[in-house]
Amino acid sequence: MPQGIYKNKVLYVGFWCFSNLLSMSVAFGECDCIWQGSFVDVQKNADLIVSGSVIATKGNSIDLNIERTLRGESYREEIRIWLKTKNYCRPEPDQFPLGSSWVMALERIKEDIPGGFDPNTPNISYGRIDDFILSSCGGYWLSQQGETVTGNLLDGPRWARDPKTFSIDLDILFSYIDGKIAREDLAQYNRENPVLEELLLDTRIFLKNQSQDFLKKESIMNDE
């Protein structure tokens, strides 16, 4: 075989292999999107912002029981959120185990898309109209423990999903979303700040003592 023809065949086979690898990457669900920013940046465009707990998982979806609505409106107390499948830019479902609690900035599904639903795999799809999507292209979700939320909330590293550098009280977060706290002032409420932690502790102790004093006075009055 002439050397030139052999080289051409090698180049063709190499190109064919590269093309197939590229196609396989897309088929297996790689996503290409631009980082939209931390939670404070992306929340302003969300259709619904809620605090809640995961009560069910099925296919590439989770069901979230809404415990508090921070902005927007849902007609149901339990909502379905569609996550990663194909090459959709969304987080993997196993990042949100049963019983875990989150604050999420969600997009409502407003219309069907071609190929978005396969009747042969009804639990794995783009999602249904009036359900919700959680994007992975920014800090669209925050972990919640009790009344404290942590995550990529403010000026966090790109693509960092759960940096442990910022945590605040849920009430403070709601005040920001509600427009009562400015972005430039939000950092002072970081619960990693020892001064703020001491202030919050003193406030809780004060309120607890006030409550106990009230109960004592009420008991004395009842005895009289």
Same domain, 160 and 113: yes
Contacts of 6 (CB under 8 A, 6+ apart): none
The CATH number for 131's domain is 2.40.50
How do residues 39-84 score in pLDDT, each as one tens digit? 999 999 999 999 999 999 999 999 999 999 999 999 899 999 999 9
For residue 176, give its domain range.
39-189
Q: Reduced to 3 states, what is the DSSP secondary structure of residue 71?
A: strand
Domain presence at residue 211: no
How do residues 168-221 score in pLDDT, each as one tens digit? 999 999 999 999 999 888 888 876 554 444 555 556 566 667 666 656 665 665
Q: How much is the pTM?
A: 0.71
Contacts of 107 (CB under 8 A, 6+ apart): 46, 47, 132, 133, 134, 135
**Is the CB of residue 53 less than 8 Å from the CB of residue 99?**
yes
Contacts of 136 (CB under 8 A, 6+ apart): 31, 33, 84, 89, 90, 91
What is the C-alpha separation between 136 and 5, in angstroms, rounded? Answer: 47
Same domain, 74 and 179: yes
What is the C-alpha separation between 113 and 210, in angstroms, rounded? Answer: 57
Domain presence at residue 199: no
User: How many folded domains does the chain comprise?
Assistant: 2
Same domain, 171 and 66: yes
For CA atoms 178, 183, 189, 195, the dihedral sign is negative
Domain presence at residue 86: yes
How do residues 94-127 score in pLDDT, each as one tens digit? 999 999 999 999 999 999 888 787 777 878 999 9
